[in-house]
A = this chain, B = another copy of it.
């Protein structure tokens, strides 16, 4: 099944655009085993989300035990919920193929994030997995996004050039973009360039992005295809034993707010 179909199916079933970032940080966690923590979060939120998104950095920081915990976490996610590998990989031909194999075949992610700096031939090995989603970094949610992504490239900022190129490269319909909620005007601009693409939108919560504009500017004309990611605000809603219940409450609140903004968003023209 193609990534976008899987995403839309669960998004409709769970009436949710919320994605939870499974980013275990031992310094922030209650004293439980990391795999058990992830499983408890998944159990508590599986009817409230459209996707889960583990960021590989947090598993790599665990040392040699990390990959097995990641693999088991991915396998534990119910089969109808897509899992996005937030890896931001980018390398050349032969090496990009190894990364794509690692993420899609070995770990079994439904989608992955990639970095565009090395150009098309660094992304093609990912895109050629036609059933997998490939989210290209476009306008990221951090301050440093301004350093290069906003540079004027022949009349338009680099991130817009990336969005246009992503459209061109989307021959299998499996390319999406990452656009941070912390820059609502840029999000609006990207959605206007790519009216039908899936957008992965981080930056809500700890990073301070505004939920209303993330929803209003991020969704397509049908009010879909925006994946609004929240990590810390859900995972660490409580750092005590009741963390799973607190995570569910936080996720429920977010889903409700997202759906409220969706219902009150201006009609598409």
Please tell me if A252 contacts chain B, counting CB pairs below 8 Å.
no
Given the complex, which residues of B lie within 8 Å of A260, measured CB to CB?
A: none
| Contact (Cβ within 8 A) A106 B60 | yes
Smallest CB–CB gap between A92 and chain B, Å?
Answer: 4
The binding surface of chain A is classed by DSSP as helix
- Minimum CB–CB distance from A189 to chain B (whole Å) comes to 18
Q: Are B91 and A90 in contact (CB under 8 A)?
A: no
Q: Which one of A38-46, A94-102, A126-134 contacts B?
A: A94-102
Shortest distance from the beta carbon of A15 to any chain B beta carbon, whole Å: 29
Whether A161 sits at the interface, judged by CB under 8 Å, is yes
A165 CA to B106 CA, complexed, in Å: 37
CB A63 to nearest CB in B, in angstroms, measures 5
A143 at the B interface (CB under 8 A):
yes
Given contacts A95-B55, A116-B117, A119-B147, contact A106 B61 (CB under 8 A): yes
Q: Which residue from B60, B68, B119, B162 sits with its C-beta under 8 Å from A142?
A: B119
Given A153-B153, A162-B148, A60-B98 contact (CB < 8 Å): yes
Q: Given contacts A121-B142, A142-B121, A151-B161, is CB(A102)–CB(B67) below 8 Å?
A: no
- Cβ-neighbour of A102 out of B57, B96, B123 (below 8 A): B57
Are B144 and A98 closer than 8 Å at their CB atoms?
no
Residues in B with CB closer than 8 Å to A119 are 140, 142-149
Q: Could you tell me the distance between the alpha carbons of A153 and B150 in the complex, rounded to whole angstroms?
A: 10
A137 touches B154 (CB 8 A): no
CA distance A98 to B154 in the complex (A): 36
Q: Is A118 an interface residue (CB 8 A)?
A: yes
Q: How far is the CB of A169 from chain B (nearest CB, A)?
A: 10
Taking the closest CB of chain B, its distance from the CB of A103, in whole angstroms, is: 8
**Residue A76, interface by CB 8 Å:** no
Q: Is A141 an interface residue (CB 8 A)?
A: yes
Central interface residue in A140, A142, A149, by most chain B CB within 10 Å: A142
Contact sample, A vs B, 12 pairs, CB 8 Å cutoff: A60-B98, A61-B101, A61-B106, A90-B117, A118-B142, A118-B149, A119-B143, A119-B147, A122-B144, A151-B154, A151-B161, A158-B158
11 additional contacts (CB under 8 A) given A57-B91, A61-B99 = A57-B98, A58-B95, A64-B68, A64-B71, A88-B90, A88-B115, A115-B117, A119-B148, A121-B143, A121-B144, A122-B144
